[in-house]
Structure 1
């Protein structure tokens, strides 16, 4: 099974994604009502996202501590982050949520952050392919 060494860009991306996801998850689990009130986003959606982020952050930290990560896993992380970015944009555009200005900013920040992480994972795969 082809793998990518967790050095340089990949390790940095994994750790940054883990830290961001962990901090977001903690905030969303500890204060979903306050965030829902500030953003006009559904409380349940925020809590569910927080509950997802916490183990996801743990997985990313664990992967960053490995010597190498299977290439398919890095591809899955990139695809998942891209999907999350699309979902953040689609929720208000499809009328599934009706956020206020802060909610739009919250969703936009999420979309940009996860799109950046997806690009970092894609770059790490390309660099590993060139090095092989």
Structure 2
């Protein structure tokens, strides 16, 4: 049996959290599919090696599937959403580190992509975290 403390408690909060998880899944899944399908082309456009984009794409597709599964559950698990928030936070931190450390010779478009993705992921994370905090 799941306790009230481990699930999102109100219908409105659960609906908002499901929305945030589904939007996160759509964005993650779409990026993942594009990276897998066009890693070589995107690599040149963005200054990222295709060998880097393939595993990132595979991760994003799997992450998107997990998000959709989580959003489809009758009750939304707070611990599972906490893991999603941690993964998203790690993505944002890694994006900032990639920019600062200069791991790859990013093009201007590549820099814009990394920044845009970090901002969008941070937005999803903030929304997910806000819903969890409201339900404490």
Contact 2:14–2:76 (8 Å) recurs in 1: no
Aligned to 2:83: 76
Contact 1:92–1:98 (8 Å) recurs in 2: no
Aligned to 1:106: 113
User: Quick one: distance in 2 between partners of 1:124 and 1:45?
Assistant: 33
User: Quick one: distance in 2 between partners of 1:102 and 1:30?
Assistant: 19
Pick the structure with more strand per residue: 1
User: Quick one: distance in 2 between partners of 1:76 and 1:59?
Assistant: 11
Pairwise mapping of residues 112-127 of structure 1 onto structure 2 (< 5 A)?
112-127=119-134
Where 1:31 maps in the other structure, the secondary structure is helix
* Residue segments in structure 1 that go unaligned for 5+ positions in a row: none
Contact 2:31–2:57 (8 Å) recurs in 1: yes
* Residue segments in structure 2 that go unaligned for 5+ positions in a row: none
Shift of 1:92: 2.6
1:28 corresponds to 2:32: no
Residues 56-94 of structure 1: CA deviation (Å, up to 9, x unaligned): 111111111111122111111112111101111111311
What is the TM-score when the length of structure 2 is the normalising length? 0.89
